[in-house]
């Protein structure tokens, strides 16, 4: 994966391959800053995802918005992709890793279900830590 746009496209294909919805939110001048840039909806997992490439950090404003969403009982994760590995992060710490082998697995339901397991387990951990 070369950049955030390529990662977003691939993530969308995986989610759609099992009947899910991947909604990319394109920021603009009239939109309030700091909200996550994608929403995933599927019966197995639904929630907000902030995508980060390389060493880009989740900003304090993004962290505040993500905390507000979690307080409303939403599932929220920051996903970083770097060197072929995807990590789930919360409060600037890695809480889970989706391996390069799992990510590069051929397109199909097994890959999608592994991704949903990853999303579900890590967002549940965040909700427990935040007391929700």
Query: How would you write 73-120 as a 3-class SS string?
Result: CCCEEEEEEECCEEEEEECCEEEEEECHHHHHCCCCHHHHHHHHHHHH
**3-state secondary structure (DSSP) of residue 5:** helix
Fold of 4-129: Trna Endonuclease; Chain: A, domain 1 (3.40.1350)
61 versus 103: which is more confidently predicted? 61
The tens digit of pLDDT for each residue in 67-92 reads 999 889 888 888 888 877 788 887 77
- Cβ atoms within 10 A of the Cβ of 68, count? 13
pLDDT of residue 105: 62
Task: Map out the domains of the chain as residue ranges.
Answer: 4-129
- Cα end-to-end span (Å), the chain: 34
The tens digit of pLDDT for each residue in 6-54 reads 888 888 888 888 889 999 987 777 778 899 999 999 888 889 999 988 8
In this predicted structure, the answer to whether residue 1 has a pLDDT above a threshold of 50 is no
């Amino acid at each position: 994966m070369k950049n955030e746009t390529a990662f977003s496209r691939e993530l969308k294909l995986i989610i759609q391959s099992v009947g899910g919805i991947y909604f990319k939110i394109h920021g603009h001048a009239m939109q309030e800053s700091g909200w996550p840039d994608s929403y995933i909806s599927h019966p197995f997992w639904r929630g907000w995802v902030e995508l980060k490439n390389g060493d880009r950090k989740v900003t304090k404003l993004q962290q505040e918005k993500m905390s507000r969403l979690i307080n409303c009982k939403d599932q929220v994760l920051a996903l970083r992709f770097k060197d072929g590995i995807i990590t789930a992060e919360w409060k600037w710490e890695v809480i889970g890793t989706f391996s390069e082998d799992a990510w590069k697995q051929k397109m199909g339901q097994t890959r999608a279900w592994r991704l949903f397991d990853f999303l579900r387990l890590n967002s549940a951990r965040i909700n427990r830590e935040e007391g929700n």
